[in-house]
Amino acid sequence: MAMNFTKELMAAPGKKVKLAKWNPEDTLGCEKGHRMKASLEKATEQLDKLQYLLYAEHKRALLVVLQGLDAAGKDGTIRHVMAGVNPQGCRVTSFKVPSAEEAAHDFLWRIHQAVPPHGDIGIFNRSHYEDVLVVRVHNLVPKEVWSRRYDQINEFESILHEGGVRILKFFLHISKDEQRKRFEQRIDDPDRRWKISEADFQERKYWDDYREAYEDALTRCGTPEAPWFIIPANKKWFRNLAVSHIIVETLEGMKMKFPPPTVDVKKLKWK
């Protein structure tokens, strides 16, 4: 497709983010159909080739961070966008409530351990941003603690960038009505009821608090080295399309090259 999803959906670093200005129903003029399905398939095929090149070059890594409110589609994005990727070179890490060992360290300790090595793609299903989101909304630590974490996160991501880790951060933006619809679909579907919990419904009470917390995180932690992309995610097909194209556009922009062979292939002899 001719559209540059990276340019269209990046939250401009240094500028205040107001989510009211980002329509979760937006599709940037794209329409669901065979053309969009073919575009997604082409992007996933290209992603497979680029992952192979990333692995072969072995000089850089890609870290994909997925954030969003409950039912925003983090699992679905991983399943559809990364479907063709070689699992040997891709690792998904889900960050839930810290274990006793993790809680005994600084909040970035467990995150750093999951950063992908050179040659690999790492995907974070939730991330270090939970420590300025749920921690903030539920007052799990004092404000003077979580308020310092924005700068600490920026410094951490800057260190990763300097070490060759390219960072893409996606906020999957859904409306409150869409979240309710997806919860109802889970309740009605016997195969998906296991995903529903009482906490999901309790957290809806804090919708406005989470929205404010996300706006601060998107504003204060959007940098040229680690930008945020706000993905309109009410339409699942567009969410997958946009994320896949941004990942491909980013990898293509890295201008990767296959390394030279370690032996003189002209001198190899068959016995």
Q: What angle do CA 204, 10, 21 make, to 5 degrees?
A: 50
pLDDT at 2 over 90: no
Q: Is residue 14 part of a domain?
A: no
CATH assignment at residue 129: 3.40.50.300
Q: Is residue 197 part of a domain?
A: yes
pLDDT at 1 over 70: no
Contact 85, 48 (CB under 8 A): yes
Q: Is residue 3 part of a domain?
A: no
Q: Is residue 48 part of a domain?
A: yes
Whole-number percent of the chain with pLDDT over 70: 99
- Tell me: the pLDDT tens digits for 26-68? 999 999 998 999 999 999 999 999 999 999 999 999 999 999 9
Q: Is residue 20 part of a domain?
A: no
pLDDT in the model for residue 188: 92
Number of domains, the chain = 1
pLDDT in the model for residue 195: 84
Q: Is residue 204 part of a domain?
A: yes
pLDDT in the model for residue 87: 87
Nearest to 165 by CA among 109, 116, 113, 228: 116
Per-residue confidence band for 268, with pLDDT thresholds at 50, 70 and 90 = confident
261 token code pair: 């062979």
- Tell me: the pLDDT tens digits for 107-164? 999 999 999 999 999 999 999 999 999 999 999 999 999 999 999 999 999 999 999 9
Q: Is residue 9 part of a domain?
A: no
Domain range for 130: 43-254
Tell me the chain's radius of gyration from C-alpha atoms: 20
pLDDT in the model for residue 27: 96
Residue carrying the six token digits 């420590």 = 131
- Tell me: the pLDDT tens digits for 195-221? 888 888 889 999 999 999 999 999 999
Per-residue confidence band for 264, with pLDDT thresholds at 50, 70 and 90 = confident
Rounded Cα distance between 190 and 62, Å, is 36
